Structures are given as structure tokens and as C-alpha cells.
Amino acid sequence: MQKRTPKKASKVDYRLLYKRKIVDFLESLKDKEYTVWQMNESMKKLFSMGEQVVQVCLAKLRENDEVLAPVVCYALEFADNYDVVAPLMDILIMPDISDKVKARILTVLSHYGVDAGELPLNMIMKDFDRVASESLTEMLEDIDKDYFLILYILDDMEEFPPDMKLSYVKDIGDLKDERAVKLLEIIASMDDIPLAQEAIKALGKIKSGKSLFALSRLANLINDDCTRRIVEKEIQRLKFSGVQMEIPPSPVKLANPVKIIVSSIDGLGSRALWIAWKNPLKTRKLTSMNLLLNADTGIKDCWGVPQISTREFNSSIKDLSKTTLIAECNMEYAITLIRDALHLNQEKGIEIPYQFFFWKHLLEQNYNLKPKVYKPSFEKYDMEEILNNQEHFKKTFDLFNYRLFDDWFIAEPRVYDYADENRSRKGYIIKKMTQQRAEKLFSKFTQELIEPQIHVIKRMMELSADFLDRAGQKELAKVALSALLHMNIRPLYYHPFIQRMIIESIRVALNNMKNGFDMRVNPDAFE
């Protein structure tokens, strides 16, 4: 007698119920406008519905629903599950799936590292050229409705292989559509020279006064001689075609920022700079530019949030404040930090994140973003008195007790060798070392791991003193200035701050090894 049969049927019923809930939820998201934050929150809710979500999404793609496909593909990207690649490749070659849905699938595969350029697209799609052209035309229509969509286009483009980037920009130019001028002008201003040159040539194909105006502006902004000659050539081409310059209205204008947040410098030399404005296209929404600036390499990352509520933005600030010290600042200081970072990018030949050029295009309507080194002013302080004050100098050892400096340790595999060499059964206790052994450790560690990057540590300390001063922490700023002013002492390991940096670096390494993490074995775990 099979007593458990009803229970089995019950389980099947529940699975169908969960599947129905997932499908209904997906359907509720289609044909609606959401901010990225709202969409991501919806995805969290979706994936809380159980393990069937990915399988349901794949099943819906097989149904060839062109309206639902954007939502489903967003979910499959959000899943961050490489197991979706194989089934997506299977769906991609199904003959009854429309080219439009297949184009969506290609964007998901690109997210997982599949190079679409390596696929036989002319065999996979019925009319790849038509789909590509329609896709680009739709993209330009969308940009016309919402200028901030360019942020996502730049984000996607940055992930393309170099050849695909060039082909993509060339295809946009081949449309000869005036609506492409806004996007192409931004790409043409980038420091990715081959891509910028391709965008300039694309602008030259668009026989429009707006395109001529964009090229004329670029002629005054571009520093590379070869690129400038291409600009001049395309300007002449349009003029010979009888094109008259037309000054277009600005697609959007940013008012004064509603809030600017800057963080302290972390142990890697990085700091956050967030600027929020009222969204010029959406009422009751903010738009924000979020930068990660590095004291040695300049603008390290840039991501924008086109639509975010004040509540959401304040919530993000609260989350940031849990990981680092933050302060509000004015736009003058923010621009100063951006120009300083741009100088580093330029000086060291480090490419700037693509998204930044979108914001640069808008900011230059009101601000000068020409690269310039920032030298903080400490005129209010008696620098000679700080230099000679031994109490301040001794206190530099204790800077690590403050949150601003507590992660200023050296994080390199070599530190773990030092940790191994100097640990005992009870761990690592510097006070129990003989003076000779401690001095030998400090000397060798400093020479190998600190002196090669002392210029970066100095700059980090200078910017930290500036941050403390602006935050009103004058006494702590004096100690930071004392640490900075004594960075030239010889031997450098006599500096209390440097001694503490060595101690903390080895202590952190020992603690990590105790918990099963070793940079020599698994460096990726520390990224």
C-alpha cells in the first residue's frame, strides 16, 4: 500500500506553484521603467523564490517572447552563474528563436566572457546585418529619449575586445544618423586613441551641422597630434560637402550638486568621491557620479547611477560610512581632486574608465577639468614647530589606532615570508624580540617593501592630513603632518609610523594564515 502517494503529488503541486510565481513575477517586470537599483532589488526578490529561477528563465527564452526577453536576460546576467552559458548557446542555434531574442542572448554571453565576434553569427541569425542595424537604430532612439543610457553603452563597450570596439563604432558611423553625434563625440574624446580616431571618422560620415560642431570642439580639446590631424581632415570633408555648422542644445544640463561625499584614503591609496545632482530628466530622482581615485594611479574606477531616489542615495552613503571615514565637501574641492587624478592618469599613461568621459562631457559645461597637480595648503599650521615637536613624532606610532589609518598595512606575498620567519608558538610578539633582531627585521622589511613605494605613502599621508584638516580634526592633522615631515629621516625604519606599519603588516599576515588565507598561495582571494 503506497501511503506516500498524496505527499508526492503535493510536492509536485508546490513546485508548479513556485514556477508559476516566478513566471508571474517576471511578467510583472516587462514593459516597465525601473532604475538600476530598483531592477537589482527586484532581481534579489526573484532569486529568493528558489532554485528554479534560472531554469524558468531559460524556459521562457525558448518560448521566443521578444517582450519578456530583456527582463529574462537581465536576470540571467544578475545570476552570475556560468552554468547558463551552455544552455544559452543551445538556444542561440534554435531555428525558431527570433533574431531579436538571439541578440539579447548574445549580450548575456558577452557578460560571461563569450566573444560574439568568434561565433558564426551569419549562420546563427537569419539576417545578422539587419538585426545589427536595427539594434543600433533602436539604441539611438533610446538615447534620444534618455541621454543617460550612454553610461550603459560605454560600460558594455569597455568589455569588448579591441577589434569589436572599432567595428562597433564604425557600424554606428555607417548609419549616418545625426542622433549618433552625442555618443560619438564622447567616444572621440577618450584616451583610447585608436577608438577615438574611429569615432572621429564616424563623425565625418554624418553630414550634419551638429557633427561639424562636435568635430570643431574636439579640435580644441585633443592633445594627440595624429588624432588632431584626423579631426581637421574630417572637418574639411564636411565643409567641402557644403555642411554648415549648427550649435545643438545641450542634451542635459546639471544644476549645482545636491550632495558631495569624499572618503578618507585607504591602505591602497584609494578614496571615494561621490557627486549627486537632481536628475534633469526625471522628477524626484537624483543622478550620481561615483569615482574611485587613487593617490598613485589617478581615476581608477567610475560608475554612474542615472536614476536614484534621495533615500537610496543616502542609504548608499550610510553603507559607505561603515567601511571608511567620509565627509561632505564643496564642488571646488571635488574638481580639484578630479584634476589631480587626471594628471596622474595622463602622466603615467593609465587609461581612464570609459564612463568618466560621459561625466567629463557634462562637467566641462561649467568647470575646468584640465589636469593639474593638487598641492594641499597647510598655511594655518606652524610646520617648523610640528617638525621639531617630538611628542607629535612619537604619536605617529599610534596613528594606526585611528580608523583612518587602521588598514595602512603592506599587503604583498613577501610579507607572509616575513611572518613565517618571525612567528612563534604564541604568535608574533615584537616586544619579546631582542633589539638587534627587531632592528634587523625593520631594516630589511623597510628596504625591500616600503622604500620602493615611499613616494606613494608620502602622498597618501599628505592627502590624509588635508582630509583631517578639512574635517576639523586639527590635532590629529598635526600628527599626520609630523609623520609626513619626517618621511625623509635616515634610516627610514627609525620612523615610529613606519615601525608600526611593519608590525601591523606582519600581524595581519599571521592572522590571515591562521584563518587559512595566504597571499603566496591564493592571491586572488585578496582582490
State residue 145's pLDDT score: 86
Residue ranges making up the domain that contains 31: 17-126
From 289-298, 372-381, 393-402, 516-525, the region with the lowest mean pLDDT: 516-525
28 pLDDT more than 60: yes
Are 392 and 449 in the same domain? yes
Residues 509, 404 within the same domain: yes
| Nearest of 136, 127, 77, 133 to residue 102 by alpha carbon | 127
- Asked if residue 387 is part of any domain, the answer here is yes
Whether residues 116 and 135 share a domain: the answer is: no
8: pLDDT strictly greater than 60: no
CA distance 32 to 141: 17
Instruction: Identify whether 263 is part of a domain.
Output: yes
308 - beta bridge partners?
286
**pLDDT value at position 7?**
42
149 and 266, same domain (yes or no): no
DSSP per position, 89-134: HHHHT-TTS-HHHHHHHHHHHHHTT--GGGS-HHHHSS-HHHHHHH
CATH code of 200's domain:
1.25.10.10
Instruction: Identify the pLDDT of residue 114.
Output: 87
DSSP state of 260: E
For residue 429, the model assigns a pLDDT of: 58
pLDDT tier at 458, thresholds 50, 70, 90: very high
> In the prediction, which pLDDT does 527 show?
57
pLDDT tier, 318 (very low <50, low <70, confident <90, very high otherwise): very high
Instruction: Check whether residue 139 and residue 73 sit in a common domain.
Output: no
Query: Residue 121's pLDDT is what?
Result: 80
For the ranges 290-294, 321-325, 420-424, the one whose mean pLDDT is highest: 290-294
Answer yes or no: is pLDDT of 279 > 50: yes
pLDDT higher than threshold 80 for residue 33 = no
Query: pLDDT confidence of 219, banded at 50, 70, 90?
Result: very high
Range 63-85 average pLDDT:
92
Structural domain contains residue 6: no
Return the biggest CA–CA distance within the chain.
95
Residues 332 and 394 in one domain: no
Task: Note whether 475 and 437 are same-domain residues.
Answer: yes
pLDDT per position as a tens digit, 39-59: 888 999 999 988 889 999 999
Q: Mean pLDDT, to the nearest integer, of 178-202?
A: 96
The residue ranking higher by pLDDT, 12 or 143, is 143
Per DSSP, 433 falls in state S
Is 22 contained in some domain? yes
332 and 237 co-located in one domain:
no
Give the mean model confidence (pLDDT) for residues 449-472: 96
pLDDT at 12: 43
Among residues 181, 206, 241, the one where a domain terminates is: 241
Domain boundary among 103, 126, 149: 126
Tell me how far apart the alpha carbons of residues 396 and 494 are, in angstroms, rounded to a whole number. 12
In a domain, 247, yes or no: no
The tally of domains found in the chain comes to 4
Question: Do 445 and 477 sit in the same domain of this protein?
Answer: yes
Pairwise pLDDT comparison (170 vs 432), residue with the higher score = 170
Q: How far is CA 119 from CA 73, 76, 77, 169, in A?
A: 19, 20, 19, 20
Q: What is the pLDDT of residue 370?
A: 95
| Strand arrangement, sheet containing 298-308 | 298-308, 286-294, 270-278, 259-263, 326-328
Listed residues 364, 393, 415: the one ending a domain: 364
Both 338 and 422 in a single domain? no
- The residue behind cell 552563474 is 81
Provide the mean pLDDT of the chain.
90
pLDDT digits (tens, 9 = 90+) for 109-141: 988 888 877 888 888 888 767 777 778 888 899
Return the residue matching grid coordinates 551638429.
210
Higher pLDDT: 299 or 125? It is 299
Residue 50 lies in a domain: yes
C-alpha cell belonging to residue 369 = 577639468
Q: Are strands 298-308 and 286-294 parallel, antiparallel or unpaired?
A: antiparallel
Q: DSSP string of 496-525?
A: HHHHHHHHHHHHHHHHHHHTT--TTT-GGG
Please check whether residues 268 and 294 belong to one and the same domain. Answer: yes
Query: Does residue 1 sit within a domain?
Result: no
Shared domain check, 105 and 189: no
